[in-house]
Structure formats: structure tokens, C-alpha cells
Amino acid sequence: MLIRVKMIANYRDALPPGHKHGVIELDVPDGTTVYDAVSQFDIPLNDESVIVLNGLTVEMNTPLKEGDTVTAFSAIAGG
């Protein structure tokens, strides 16, 4: 099934070359979770990151569905 992974700001550096606007599509097997989708990228998987599914905060073990978008960005913002 196809899902999208979107990385925002400095997390875009974790995506492979060729991504458009910080978004890539992945073909993942049924049963793939939010954690499975983002753990393959070099980003912190702790309180340093905000990871959402279709714009909503969910548990990392939430299974994905066709067309879902997992978005990750840093929880620490400068100002």
C-alpha cells in the first residue's frame, strides 16, 4: 500500500535525494505502523520529535492505511 512520509524543516535532511517538498511516497506492507514508517529515517524518536498521522497525534503503534500521511518535525522551535 502507498503512504506518504513528510518531513518538515531540518528533518527534510533525513529523506533520500529526490524528494519533493519534503514528501516521499513509500510502498509498505499491510500492518505497517507509524513507528515502522518513520524509524527507517535518521530522526529522533523521542520527545524531541512531533510525529502525527494525517494531522492527528496518535500512538506510534497505530497501523497505517492506504493513502495515510505520516509527518515528522522537531518539537523544539527557535524564536
Q: Spell out the domain ranges in the chain.
A: 2-74
Residue 56 pLDDT class (50, 70, 90 cuts): very high
pLDDT in tens, 7-18: 999 999 999 888
Report the CATH architecture of 2-74: Roll (3.10)
The grid coordinates listed for 51 are 510525529
From residue 54, give the alpha-carbon distance in Å to each of 4, 9, 17, 29, 78.
10, 18, 24, 18, 25
pLDDT attached to residue 77:
57
Query: pTM for the whole thing?
Result: 0.91
- Percent share of the chain, pLDDT over 70: 96
